Amino acid sequence: MAIFSKKNQDTFTDAQDFTVLPEHIGIIMDGNGRWAKKRGLPRTAGHKAGAEVFKSISKECDRLGIKYATFYAFSTENWKRPQSEVDALMALFKNYLLEAKADVKAAGKIKLKFIGERKGISNDLLKLMDEAEEETKDHTGTTVYLAINYGGRQEITSAVNKLISSGKKEITEQDISDNIFTVPECDLIIRPSGEQRLSNFLLWQSAYSEFWYSDVLWPDFTNDDLHEALRAFENRNRRFGA
């Protein structure tokens, strides 16, 4: 039985409180800019607050025993944002990876992986990403996929191109599944901030995803919000088209 206390405080919700948990959740971390604007702060302050929430929610996924969690951190379209905002986001990714490196235990048993196009990302960030994957590869907790420079259409297009260059004449669904980033099928997609769009996130892997939306802006998203999404998922009747 889950005992919910006030927002942002400990909730005594455990994996056993759910009859079923999603294996893989995808989270679109949206609303940082609006959160900052409401406070008269620069957008980058919203991203900074959002990065803290990413850290706490990824740890909560691990504590609950969720197998995979994919966080949409930077899309292929986000390069169009002002350079100062792009730089601030890249700096946040680097800081997080440096922090995780300095104190691997701080990230718990989380296994870090990255999806997205490497081209365009600076060499120093790529190096930190590679090191983080290597250093956490034996971790047994949640696999956290950080989607950086990621776009679902780009992912599928590049899989098709790989198959064409390999000489394939006819492409099957399995071929595409085998050639996109190795992220499992997504069970639940969570999008805070009131928007109800997929925004080019996990297009292939979300074919049978359940969706959960909330008006909460990402920097205000708490463990309780995650539990609410999981509670909603538990009550969905998934038929996979049958």
31 bridge partner residues:
none
Place of tokens 């930077």: 74
> Is 146 an interacting residue with respect to ligand FPP (CB under 6 A)?
yes
Q: How far is the CB of 52 from ligand FPP (least distance, A)?
A: 9
> Is 114 an interacting residue with respect to ligand FPP (CB under 6 A)?
no
Place of tokens 């049958």: 242
Site for ligand FPP in 202-241 (CB under 6 A): 218
N residues, the chain = 242
> Is 54 an interacting residue with respect to ligand FPP (CB under 6 A)?
yes
Q: How far is the CB of 93 from ligand FPP (least distance, A)?
A: 5
Segment near ligand FPP (CB under 6 A); pick from 11-19, 61-69, 87-95, 151-159: 87-95
Quote the strand ranges of 29-170, DSSP E.
Answer: 68-75, 111-115, 143-150
Kindly state the number of chain residues that form the binding site for ligand FPP, as judged by CB under 6 A. Answer: 18
Q: Which of 33, 141, 151, 192 binds ligand FPP (CB under 6 A)?
A: 33
Q: Is 78 a known active-site residue?
A: yes
- How does DSSP classify residue 142? -
> Is 27 an interacting residue with respect to ligand FPP (CB under 6 A)?
no
Here the contacts of 56-60 (C-beta below 8 Å, separation 24 or greater) are 56/223, 57/27, 57/221, 57/223, 57/226, 58/107, 58/110, 58/142, 58/144, 59/107, 59/108, 59/110, 60/223, 60/226
> Is 26 an interacting residue with respect to ligand FPP (CB under 6 A)?
no
Give the residue among 106, 108, 148 at the shortest CA–CA distance from 126. Answer: 148
* Cα distance between the two ends of the chain: 32
Both tokens of residue 96? 């997080």
Spatial distance between the Cα atoms of 83 and 62, rounded to a whole number of angstroms? 34
> Is 111 an interacting residue with respect to ligand FPP (CB under 6 A)?
no
**Residue of 8, 14, 62, 78 marked active site:** 78
Q: Is 17 a known active-site residue?
A: no
Please, which residue, 42 or 184, has the CB nearer to ligand FPP?
A: 42
203, burial (CB in 10 Å: exposed 0-12, middle 13-18, buried 19+): middle
> Is 29 an interacting residue with respect to ligand FPP (CB under 6 A)?
yes
Spatial distance between the Cα atoms of 28 and 70, rounded to a whole number of angstroms? 9
Q: Which of 22, 26, 31, 116 binds ligand FPP (CB under 6 A)?
A: 31
Segment near ligand FPP (CB under 6 A); pick from 4-12, 24-32, 62-70, 184-192: 24-32
Both tokens of residue 37? 């604007």
Q: Which of 22, 26, 50, 192 binds ligand FPP (CB under 6 A)?
A: 50
Q: Which of 34, 109, 231, 236 binds ligand FPP (CB under 6 A)?
A: 34
Q: Which residues are at the interface with ligand FPP (CB under 6 A)?
A: 29-34, 47, 50-51, 54, 73, 78, 89, 92-93, 96, 146, 218
Return the active site residues: 30, 78
